[in-house]
Structure 1
Amino acid sequence: MLHVVTSQTKDSHSAMLGEAFQLRHRVFVEEKGWSDLRRADGRETDRFDDEHAVHMVYIEAGKVIGYQRLLPTTRPHLLSEVMPELCEGERPVGANIWEWTRYCVEPAYRERGRMLSPVANALLSGIVEWGLDTGVGTIVIEMNPLWLLRLVQLHFRVTPLGVPHLINGEETVAVTAKFDERTLGRLRETRSASSAAVAASTLREPRPSNHVGR
């Protein structure tokens, strides 16, 4: 089941988030080789893991096996602060536009070939369910261009923001991906399920403020 963790519930989910940050370290530091993120405690965190971030943690049999983070574009985020070169025109900003970052899945639960794994499907479904519930309809993604076709097949409406750049040894392109009820229907169809991916008890928790402060 997928759990949504915000600043209001962070303290009560500290153990879950701790495991999620360890998963991030294994994937981005140990597997992908992003050595500048290495930490002695084996937990990958950055300055964007603040009170405005929304964390989504996938748990199966009591173990964290999937994770992703959403950041409001009305505040500093990766595209605005770390990879601005990926956006060639006006940067997408708005209360209904959030950035999707730090997506990661334990190796044993990833897709093999073209099919989306159940965990990956649940994570994407979680974004759409949360977005439809909170008024968010667009996500900004910095990703490998190979994901473009997959997102389109899942009924996201994808628009590149620029050409790919080589970042950390990997081709990366920034896009916006819009979604609606049709996207959610397609995701549920591909996993042969009609139920929600996000735990109902966490979906309607208050989300962090979008307000831009000085």
Structure 2
Amino acid sequence: MIHIVTPANAHRYADAMEQAWRLRHDIFVAEKGWTELARPDGREIDQFDTPHAVHFLAMEGDAVIGYSRLLPTTRPHLLSDVLPQLCEVERPVGPQIWEWTRQGVARSHRAKGRVVNPVSIALLTGIVEWGLAHGVNSLLLQMPTLYMIHVIQLHFRPQPLGLPVQIAGEEIMAATARFDARTLAKLRAVRGDSNSVLVSEPAYLVA
């Protein structure tokens, strides 16, 4: 199930967020080699982990097995402050557009030989459920170009913001991805479950 963490309920998720910071370090520093994010304490926390970030935790019991983060585009975010070169048009900004970053799944829960990882799909389903409930209809993405087909297959409507750029040995592109109830229906069909994935639905700070 997917737990949403904001300042409204963070006191109940102190241990889970510690796991999330360490999972991020394992994935993005140890595995992907993003050494500029390395920290001696083994916790990957960046300048965008402010009270305005919304954290999505995939949990199995008390263990965090997957993570995603949303950032409001009305405040500093990755595309505005770190990767502006990916955007060749007017940068999309608004309360209805949130940047999706730091998606990751624990190595123990990656689905070998499967195109779609169940934990990843559950996280994305939770994000879309949350978005539809809060007036959000678009995600801002920075992703390898090969992921574009998967975004379309999941019934998002992506719009590239520029040509791909080589970053750390990968071709990375920026895009917006609009979604609606049809997107949620497709995600639930892929999961094989029409029930909500969200355990908690706290209030959040207005961006």
- Per the normalisation by structure 2, the TM-score is 0.97
Task: Give the CA deviation at 1:167.
Answer: 1.5
Aligned-pair identity in percent equals 51
State the superposition RMSD in angstroms. 1.1
Q: Could you tell me how far apart the structure 2 residues matched to 1:167 and 1:52 are?
A: 27
Q: Could you tell me how far apart the structure 2 residues matched to 1:162 and 1:156 are?
A: 18
CA contact (8 A) 1:54 1:208 kept: no
Paired letter, 1:191:
R
Q: Could you tell me how far apart the structure 2 residues matched to 1:37 and 1:67 are?
A: 17
Which residue number corresponds to residue 56 of structure 2? 56
CA contact (8 A) 2:154 2:186 kept: yes
Which residue number corresponds to residue 144 of structure 1? 144
Which residue number corresponds to residue 28 of structure 2? 28
Q: Could you tell me how far apart the structure 2 residues matched to 1:61 and 1:12 are?
A: 14
Task: Give the CA deviation at 1:43.
Answer: 0.5
Task: Give the CA deviation at 1:113.
Answer: 4.6
Paired letter, 2:183:
T
Flag structure 2 segments of 5+ consecutive residues without an equivalent.
none
Deviations 1:8-64 (A, max 9, x none): 222221111110010000000000001111111110000100110000000013211
Asked if 1:190 corresponds to 2:190, the answer is: yes
Q: 1:33 to 1:104 in 2, by over 3 A?
A: same
SS at match of 2:145: coil
Which residue number corresponds to residue 84 of structure 1? 84
Equivalent pairs, count: 207
Which residue number corresponds to residue 38 of structure 1? 38
Q: Could you tell me how far apart the structure 2 residues matched to 1:62 and 1:9 are?
A: 16
SS at match of 1:190: helix
SS at match of 1:74: coil
Q: Could you tell me how far apart the structure 1 residues matched to 2:111 and 2:123 are?
A: 13
- Per the normalisation by structure 1, the TM-score is 0.94
Task: Give the CA deviation at 1:74.
Answer: 0.3
Q: Could you tell me how far apart the structure 2 residues matched to 1:163 and 1:198 are?
A: 35
CA contact (8 A) 1:20 1:64 kept: yes
CA contact (8 A) 2:74 2:93 kept: yes
Deviations 1:92-146 (A, max 9, x none): 0000000000000112322445621110110110110000111100000001111
Q: Could you tell me how far apart the structure 1 residues matched to 2:24 and 2:142 are?
A: 16
1:93-112 equivalent positions in 2, closer than 5 A = 93-112=93-112
Flag structure 1 segments of 5+ consecutive residues without an equivalent.
none
Paired letter, 1:135:
G
Following TM superposition, the consecutive aligned residue runs of length 4 or more in structure 1 with deviations greater than 4 angstroms are: none
Which residue number corresponds to residue 206 of structure 1? 203
Q: Could you tell me how far apart the structure 1 residues matched to 2:50 and 2:27 are?
A: 21
Asked if 1:66 corresponds to 2:66, the answer is: yes
